[in-house]
Amino acid sequence: MARKVISIDDKIKQAEAAVAVAKKKYDAALDELERLVTKRKQLEDKKVLEAYHASTKTADEIIAFLNSSKE
């Protein structure tokens, strides 16, 4: 079989196409990651709010407790 010679321009076009496909997959994966992180944050916020409502502590007491861990 004869070897087909591929020009540099054709190789560049192939590489550009491969990069475009990879970028599309990357962007989709990044969107999914952002969606999942947002969802996790919402679930954590809900859990904290439910714990606050079930607690006998005041909002000021809870805030003081949370701020005390920074020191």
Residues 39-60, buried b or exposed e (16+ Cβ, 10 A)? eeeeeeeeeeeeeeeeeeeeee
pLDDT of residue 5: 81
Determine the Cα–Cα distance for residues 38 and 44; give it in Å rounded to an integer. 10
Is 3 within the bounds of a domain? no
**How many domains, the chain?**
1
Is 2 within the bounds of a domain? no
- Structural domain span for residue 18: 8-68
pLDDT of residue 2: 59
pLDDT of residue 4: 80
pLDDT digit of tens for each residue in the chain (71 aa)? 557 888 999 999 999 999 999 999 999 999 999 999 999 999 999 999 999 999 999 999 999 998 996 65
**Structure token pair of residue 27:** 């962007």
| pTM score over 0.85 | no
Say which DSSP state 57 is in: S
